[in-house]
Structure 1
Amino acid sequence: MIRARAFTVPCRIAIEQSPAHFHAHVELEGDLAVHPGDRVRVHGDPVRVLFGQSVVFERTATVVRAGPLLRAWTRLAAYLGLTELYEVSFTPGSLR
């Protein structure tokens, strides 16, 4: 059995809910790259951000690295999912 490699790392969380922005970003310490199939779990209590607020705080996260098989499967599934966005038409004329 191949074990997934897991480790804990500090992270910075930025959440904003305003008329101009609505986002939540997690930055892992050291600009750690997250690859297809990897899992990241941020630890701590749930956060509530009221409309018009922006908060930034520090937490820890556990990163579980995907193995080669899961990584390849995730890339294939993403590629096949992307093809669903393509629209091909063989009818003459333009779409209105």
Structure 2
Amino acid sequence: MALPFLATQSFELPCTITVEQSSEHFHAHVELADEVDIQPGDKVRVHGAPIQIPFGTRQVFERSATVTRASPLMRALTRIAAYFDLAELYEVSFNAGRIK
């Protein structure tokens, strides 16, 4: 018997992957069908063989993906961890003068 705050839900749906590799752009974007809202702690796994494209090209692929929703407890822990990761950025200081 799973406790409600530990339960996860998974579902599969189609997705579109756009990959570009050129001197101006180097990126890969995944768009899930049905505009699924991804929340903190959720996991998305795209299925299929690894993608390799020649330099200077842009290609679009259709694949399937599995979305695993985080449990309420994992979602809360992810938000707390993200807060502390963000707080590390605050420790950077900028000095107006020269460092001696």
Q: TM (normalized to structure 1)?
A: 0.88
Q: 1:16 offset after TM fit, Å?
A: 0.5
Moved over 6 A (4+): none
Report percent identity of matched pairs.
Answer: 56
Q: How many positions carry a matched residue from both structures?
A: 93
Distance 1:95 1:51 in 2: 44
Q: Which runs of 5+ in 2 are unaligned?
A: none
Q: Aligned Cα RMSD in Å?
A: 1.5
- Using the size of structure 2 for normalisation, the TM-score is 0.85
Structure with the higher fraction of residues in helix conformation: 2
State the Cα deviation string for residues 11-69 of structure 1 (Å, max 9, x = none): 00001011111111000001111110000000001110221111101000000000111
> What is the match of residue 94 of structure 1?
96
Structure 1: stretches of 5+ with no match in the other structure: none
| Alignment match of 2:56 (pick from 30, 52, 58) | 52
Choose which of 20, 25, 41 in structure 2 pairs with 1:37.
Answer: 41
